[in-house]
């Protein structure tokens, strides 16, 4: 077996010890006579797994009791469509700040339901920066303001929580949750598909300030209703139990590694290593994002000559560095360096990049 350093943007690398534990418990979970994925989600075994995952996640992210935490299927995209149904009255405006591909996706999902207002967008400039807060055109009676904390494809990350006054702030943290301390109390909703930084694909975490669950929203079936999900402890129907279990193992690993403060330090070191190689390459490599808005999680970069893309990927793969091809929307390369990516992996990539430049520059 040879596991490479995997820079996939999502589904992304999981900590090796998590995979090993899941492997060891695959056939029989803790003397239960069956795998956890073969047991009822209402049985004592899975209830324990689910409760521990929630308690651990609350601890990891310092989530106050005044927030509900939901574990649901459907991915972050489904959350984007359900936000207006749950939190905006018919006809009410909702404000969107668009700083990349996922902000646009979020906007697309809500258009059938609300009068979505683009409060700010950096699209005309190619999503290379974050529009200054004082240029945002917020609606007076918006149901909420939505933004994408880290744009996974464009590599643009907010380094501060935007101040939007009394309007509830909704943040898509799919690709940066648990990468640094976060004041949850500043938010109405925080959500994240797990497959970037929290565990496996197939489960999504939605953190909701409880008072917002009392909003009437729009007519919707119970299964699309977050209040019902909160009341039913994310088990209105069969939850993605295997994914929930893997998420729980991943969160336990993050706590054991030192929690979000430690991952903030590692993320700063890892991203600096790559941006330094890029910035010191004399134009051989290029990242086009404004420095203050550069992502610590996803580092997109281009080679000065597109003809080098193929050899770069091929030689990187041979050196045990995989999944570096950029998103098709942007081209070039992208190194996703979430919590599970060890610093040694990023160092190996930085060394490879310098060596590749030396041989091809
Ligand atoms: C991956 C991603 C999404 C989409 O997640 P799905 O689980 O595929 O729906 C949304 N927002 C951000 C920031 C992402 O990185």
Tell me the pLDDT tens digit for each residue of 128-141.
Answer: 999 999 999 999 99
Distance CA 229, CA 233 (A): 6
- 196 and 167, same structural domain? yes
pLDDT attached to residue 226: 98
**Local confidence pLDDT in tens for the 361 residues of the chain:** 789 999 999 999 999 999 999 999 999 999 999 999 999 999 999 999 999 999 999 999 999 999 999 999 999 999 999 999 999 999 899 999 999 999 999 999 998 899 899 999 999 999 999 999 999 999 999 999 999 999 999 999 999 999 999 999 999 999 999 999 999 999 999 999 999 999 999 999 999 999 999 999 999 999 999 999 999 999 999 999 999 999 999 999 999 999 999 999 999 999 999 999 999 999 999 999 999 999 999 999 999 999 999 999 999 999 999 999 999 989 999 999 999 999 999 999 999 999 999 999 8
- 280 and 225, same structural domain? no
Q: What is the CA(329)–ligand 1 centre distance, in A?
A: 15
Instruction: Considering the candidates 56, 95, 102, 252, report the single residue annotated as catalytic.
Output: 102
- 145 and 21, same structural domain? yes
Give the residue from 82, 79, 10 showing the smallest Cα distance to 298: 10
- Decide if 351 is catalytic: no
Instruction: State whether the beta carbon of 243 lies less than 6 angstroms from ligand 1.
Output: no
Residue nearest to atom 14 of ligand 1 (CA): 174
Atom of ligand 1 nearest to the CA of 153: 15
pLDDT attached to residue 1: 75
Read off the CATH number of the domain in which 338 is found. 3.90.1150.10
Local structure of 107: helix, strand or coil: helix
pLDDT attached to residue 2: 87
- 96 and 244, same structural domain? yes
- Decide if 141 is catalytic: no
Q: What is the CA(298)–ligand 1 centre distance, in A?
A: 13
Q: Is residue 210 part of a domain?
A: yes
Q: What is the CA(358)–ligand 1 centre distance, in A?
A: 36
Read off the CATH number of the domain in which 124 is found. 3.40.640.10
- 294 and 246, same structural domain? no
pLDDT attached to residue 280: 98
Q: What is the CA(256)–ligand 1 centre distance, in A?
A: 26
- 232 and 94, same structural domain? yes
Last residue of a domain, one of 193, 228, 256: 256
Residue span of the structural domain in which 114 resides = 17-256
Tell me the pLDDT tens digit for each residue of 326-354.
Answer: 999 899 999 999 999 999 999 999 999 99
Q: Is residue 42 part of a domain?
A: yes
Distance CA 4, CA 13 (A): 10
Instruction: State whether the beta carbon of 172 lies less than 6 angstroms from ligand 1.
Output: yes
Q: What is the CA(223)–ligand 1 centre distance, in A?
A: 21
- 156 and 274, same structural domain? no
- 187 and 126, same structural domain? yes
Instruction: State whether the beta carbon of 175 lies less than 6 angstroms from ligand 1.
Output: yes
Phi, psi for 311 (deg, rounded to 5)? -60, -35
Q: Is residue 2 part of a domain?
A: no
- 56 and 185, same structural domain? yes
Last residue of a domain, one of 227, 256, 285: 256
Distance CA 106, CA 152 (A): 13
Instruction: State whether the beta carbon of 157 lies less than 6 angstroms from ligand 1.
Output: no
Q: How many domains does the chain have?
A: 2
- 235 and 206, same structural domain? yes
- 82 and 128, same structural domain? yes
Instruction: Considering the candidates 56, 95, 196, 253, report the single residue annotated as catalytic.
Output: 196
- 207 and 265, same structural domain? no
Last residue of a domain, one of 222, 256, 290: 256
């Amino acid at each position: 077996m040879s596991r490479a350093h995997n820079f996939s943007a999502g589904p992304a690398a999981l900590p090796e010890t998590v995979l090993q534990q899941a492997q060891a418990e695959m056939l029989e979970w803790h003397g239960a006579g069956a795998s956890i994925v073969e047991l009822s989600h209402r049985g004592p075994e899975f209830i324990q797994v689910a409760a521990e995952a929630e308690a651990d996640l609350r601890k990891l992210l310092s989530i106050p009791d005044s927030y509900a935490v939901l574990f649901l299927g459907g991915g972050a995209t489904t959350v984007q469509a359900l936000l207006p149904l749950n939190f905006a009255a018919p006809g009410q405006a909702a404000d969107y700040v668009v700083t990349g591909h996922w902000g646009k996706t979020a906007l697309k999902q809500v258009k059938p339901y609300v009068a979505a207002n683009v409060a700010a967008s950096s699209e005309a400039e190619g999503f290379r920066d974050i529009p200054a807060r004082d240029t945002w055109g917020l609606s007076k009676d918006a149901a909420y303001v939505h933004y994408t904390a880290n744009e996974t494809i464009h590599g643009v990350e907010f380094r501060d929580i935007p101040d939007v006054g009394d309007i509830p702030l909704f943040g898509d943290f799919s690709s940066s949750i648990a990468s640094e301390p976060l004041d949850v109390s500043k938010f109405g909703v925080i959500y994240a598909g797990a497959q970037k930084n929290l565990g496996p694909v197939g489960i999504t975490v939605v953190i909701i300030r409880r008072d917002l669950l009392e909003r009437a929203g729009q007519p919707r079936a119970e299964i699309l209703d977050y209040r019902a999900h909160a009341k039913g402890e994310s088990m209105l129907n069969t939850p993605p139990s295997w994914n929930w279990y893997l998420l729980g193992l991943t969160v336990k690993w993050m706590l054991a590694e030192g929690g979000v403060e430690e991952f903030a330090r590692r993320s700063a070191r890892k991203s600096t290593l790559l941006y330094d190689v890029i910035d010191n390459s004399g134009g051989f490599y290029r990242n086009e994002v404004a420095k203050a808005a550069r992502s610590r999680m996803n580092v997109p970069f281009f080679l000065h000559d597109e003809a080098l893309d193929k050899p770069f990927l091929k030689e990187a793969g041979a050196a045990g560095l995989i999944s570096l091809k950029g998103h098709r929307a942007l081209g070039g390369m992208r190194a996703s360096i979430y919590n599970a990516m060890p610093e040694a992996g990023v160092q190996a990539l930085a060394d490879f990049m310098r060596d590749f430049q030396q041989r091809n520059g």
